Amino acid sequence: MSLLSAFKGSGPSGFGYGSTAEDVTEGLDLSGKTILITGCNSGIGKESFRVLAARGAHIIAAARTEEKAQATADELGVSAQTTVVACELSEPESVRASVEAVKAASRTIDVLMLNAGIMALPELQVHHGYELQFLTNHIGHFILTQGLREMLSEDARVVALSSAGHQHTPKGGIAFDNLDGRKGYDAWRFYGQSKLANLLFARELARQFEGSERQAYSVHPGVIKTNLTRHMNPILTSLFGMFESLTLKNVEQGAATQCYVAVHPQVDASGAYFADCNEAKSSRYGRDMELARRLWEESERIVEGL
């Protein structure tokens, strides 16, 4: 057990570092709500799936394959309130097929939880002409969200999983002239770039939602040891393990912020970046709305070519 696991450390929201997904949803009845979660089969995506389903929500469970999503629903004992879809975020055609599958289910979406992602690939990987972290973490979710906008409820929330890692990026925040990484690649800066893209995506989406009841947010879940670390250098992975009991959040705590922002009625700050279940300050690039608009326009151009 983490030495910090008992520390709630509440902020203005009443929740904080040590709060869990169960804590932040206690007493909420989500019956009649539909929540789509990407990366539902492991880590904080799986914990979000478990807790939100326990509160009564119907979950559209998206994983790389339907089999993985279904196995998770079966394990959690919530198959009766789950729709499973395959969504491989690095493959645009898979994402588009998942959009069609969700539309065929004819369910209005109340929460779009963009949880899935990959982290710190030690070697440059280029897929469809783009560095794989940027393609998977940002472009895949961009295609998914744009494809499902007509399915969002009038007061839907879109929650993008960012990271404090968004503060460590290439010069300028987004290296628009090096999105394939061929002019130079750094695993952590390119991970940070993808997480900054998630944050800026939520900022711009919130701006587009102005005048409606729809909201968009980005969140930092905390530092958590999940299988997201599977691509890391083995030495760093060992260090994560060594300090896990002292410094890292557990999965239950890691899922708290995205669950809080997704469903808690007191959340009403569309466009904000959250950490430890409270509003937090992002990097200066994360507050740059011109950069957010430019990224959106570039993302549209990229998607047209995929």
Give the domain CATH number at 236: 3.40.50.720
In a domain, 109, yes or no: yes
Encoded tokens for 225:
């040891």
Position 248 scores a pLDDT of 86
Identify the active-site residue in 17, 185, 217, 260.
Answer: 185
Residue 111 has pLDDT above 60, yes or no: yes
* Paired sense of beta strands 278-279 and 273-275, if any: antiparallel
In a domain, 3, yes or no: no
pLDDT of residue 224: 87
> Could you tell me if residue 294 is inside a domain?
yes
**pLDDT higher than 80, residue 245:** no
Task: Please give the order of strands across the beta sheet that includes 273-275.
Answer: 82-86, 58-63, 34-38, 109-114, 152-161, 215-220, 273-275, 278-279
- Please, which residues bridge with residue 85 across strands? 62
Distance separating alpha carbons of residues 251 and 202, to the nearest angstrom: 23
pLDDT digits (tens, 9 = 90+) for 57-86: 999 999 999 999 999 999 999 999 999 999
Is there a domain that residue 94 lies in? yes
Q: Does 2 reside within a domain? A: no
78 domain-assigned = yes
> What whole-number distance in Å separates Cα of residue 303 and Cα of residue 95?
11
Range of the domain at 279: 21-304
Is residue 226 very low, low, confident or very high in pLDDT (cuts 50, 70, 90)? low
High-pLDDT (> 90) share of the chain, % = 88
127 pLDDT above the threshold of 80: yes
Catalytic annotation on 185? yes
Q: Is residue 70 included in any domain, yes or no?
A: yes
Element at 52 (helix H, strand E):
helix 43-54
Q: CB-based contacts of 105: which residues, under 8 Å, 6+ apart?
A: 60, 83
Q: Are 133 and 166 in contact (CB under 8 A)?
A: no
Does some domain include residue 8?
no
pLDDT tier at 9 (50, 70, 90 boundaries)? low
- As for how many domains the chain has, the answer is 1
Compute the average pLDDT of residues 159-174. 97
Residue 19 and residue 37: Cα distance in Å, rounded?
20
Q: What is the pTM for the complete model shown?
A: 0.92
* Phi, psi angles (nearest 5°) of residue 101: -65, -40
Positive or negative: CA dihedral 91, 133, 66, 81: negative
